[in-house]
Structures are given as C-alpha cells and as structure tokens.
Amino acid sequence: MTERPHILPPPPGGGALRRADEPGAAFFDLDRTLMAGSSAYQFGRAAYKAGLVSRKQLARDAWENLLFSLRGSTDAGTDALRVRISQLLEGVRVRDLQRLAPEVLAGVLPRLYPRMLAIAYEHQDAGRPIFICTAASQEMAELMAIVLTFDGAVGSVSEVVNGHYTGRAGGPFTYREGKAQAIRELAEREGIDLAASWAYSDSESDLPMLRAVGHPVAVHPDKTLARVAREEGWEILRFDRRRLRFAGAAVAAAAVGGGVAVSRARA
C-alpha cells in the first residue's frame, strides 16, 4: 500500500517551513480554485493519447468537465469519477502513469489562476507552508506541488502492489470530510495550528475543510458556498476568470520540461 508523503523536500537554500511567529499554513483546493476546470479531465486527455481510455470515454469526460466548469462538483459526479479512475488504473504500471506527467501539465498549467498563485506565494513568503488539497490522485497533487513549488500535497491514494495499481483505494478518499480529516492529520504531524491557518475553495463540498481552519476563504464560490460564506462572514474572492484563464501559459513550457524530470526522478 502506498504512503502519502505530505511534505515535499525544501528547495535549495530554503529554510524552515514556518517561522516561530507564524504557526499556521494555507490549504488550496485545486479544481476551480487554483485552476479553471477539472484536472481530472486533463488527466483523461493524457490517458487517451497514451491509449488508456477510449474516444467515447474522453467525450463523456469532456461533457462532464463542461458541466463542472459551469456548476462545480456534485457528490454523485465525484463518486462516479472516483470509480472510473479506479477501474482505469487497475493493472496499470505506476511508471506508465508517471510518464503522463508532461501531457497532463501541458493541459493544467495554462489554466492556472495567477491571482491565486500570487496569494499562495504571499502565504509562503510570510512563513506559512502551502498545500494543494484535492480529491484528485496523490500523484496529481504531488506533481502540481513540485512544479508550483508548494510545500506539500494532500490527495487520494491508490493501492500499489509490485509496481502496479490494483484499482483499490490505498487510503481515504479526500473529498468532503475525508479531505478535512487528511488536513487535520497533516496538521498534527507537522505541528500546524489550524486556528491560525487559511483554506481556499470554490465548492460547498469543501465546507468541512473550510470550517477546520481559522481563516476560510470562498473563491468564486458556488451558490451554496456563497450563501454560507455570507452568513458566517467569510472572505469571498471573485475575479474575471475569462481574462485570467490562460495567463498561466507563460510557465507552461518550462514546467512541462520539468515534468519529464519529475517523472524520471520518481520512477
């Protein structure tokens, strides 16, 4: 069974993760918070090009990605996606999945929101470690954390036996309460004060995560999250996503090249 490595090695010349006077951290949902649309769809496109999924499956994922972009996540849709990915991974070599990294990054990086990255780096520069927290796979979460120089990642872990995915879960599904529980466990291990921490998300499904920290922030929230945020006095961020959607393209070329090195290093 795989283990979830939450903290990535510090960059050369990097210091401690936190200053003594900054005991908190900042947690960022990935889809529709750090990036436009769904990282799972970008994974599906890469898997299709590698021959792991059919054209019919890709078309269905494209439609669901459009719905996700317009309305956000639903419990039924997220659970169905988890089942499909588990079925897809059954019997696949870990190395083959790692080799999808450049193609996945080519789809994800241009869809990053520069304003959200700037906010994350402001937290990091203030001495708070920053984490990607997503229901997507641990591999996807770690890949994005490495490329974006986040301090770590929380994602859903799949079981691996003899270098192949079994199609079974290797840990909790990091969605709704599962994501909040993973963050609490990380905080306990790393000495993070959640009351002094921030969390960012677009979806009401992340209410457990948002309520686990002292500073919840709703990022262009769905209808339910917007209502809760107003009622509870949380900060709400909104910006013109159409203008910023592809502004991350400047970093894509260099990062995709880096993704090859990441894949080789982790193989």
Q: Residue 43: which of 27, 33, 31 has the closest Cα?
A: 31
29 is catalytic: yes
Residue 223 pLDDT? 93
Say which of 21, 29, 202, 206 is annotated catalytic: 29
Determine the length of the chain: 267
Is the pTM higher than 0.85?
no
Please list, residue by residue across 96-126, b when 16 or more beta carbons sit within 10 angstroms of its beta carbon and e when fewer do.
Answer: bbbbbbbbbbbbbbbbbbeebbebbeebbee
Q: Residue 155: which of 130, 176, 172, 177 has the closest Cα?
A: 172
* Sequence-distant (≥ 6) Cβ neighbours of residue 109 within 8 angstroms: 147, 248, 249, 251, 252, 255, 256
DSSP 2: -
Angle between helices 39-49 and 101-108 (to 10 degrees): 140
79 is catalytic: no
CA distance 35 to 173: 21
Residue 167 pLDDT? 77
Q: Which domains are seen in the chain, by residue range?
A: 26-266 (3.40.50.1000)
Q: In a 3-state reduction of DSSP, which class is residue 187?
A: helix
Residue 248 pLDDT? 41
Q: What is the identity of the amino acid at 50?
A: A
Q: Name the pairing type of β-strands 235-237 and 152-156.
A: unpaired
**What is the secondary structure of 127-173 as a DSSP string?**
T--EEEEEEEEHHHHHHHHHHHT-SEEEEE-EEEETTEEEEEESS--
Say which of 31, 61, 151, 202 is annotated catalytic: 31
At 47, list the tokens: 């898997």
Per-residue pLDDT of the chain (267 residues; tens, 9 = 90+): 333 434 444 443 333 344 446 689 999 999 989 998 888 778 777 877 877 765 555 445 544 544 444 444 455 545 555 566 666 677 888 888 888 889 989 999 999 999 999 999 999 999 999 999 998 888 889 999 999 999 999 998 888 889 888 878 677 788 889 999 999 999 999 999 999 999 999 999 999 999 999 999 999 999 999 999 999 999 999 876 554 444 344 444 444 444 433 333 333
At 56, list the tokens: 């019919």
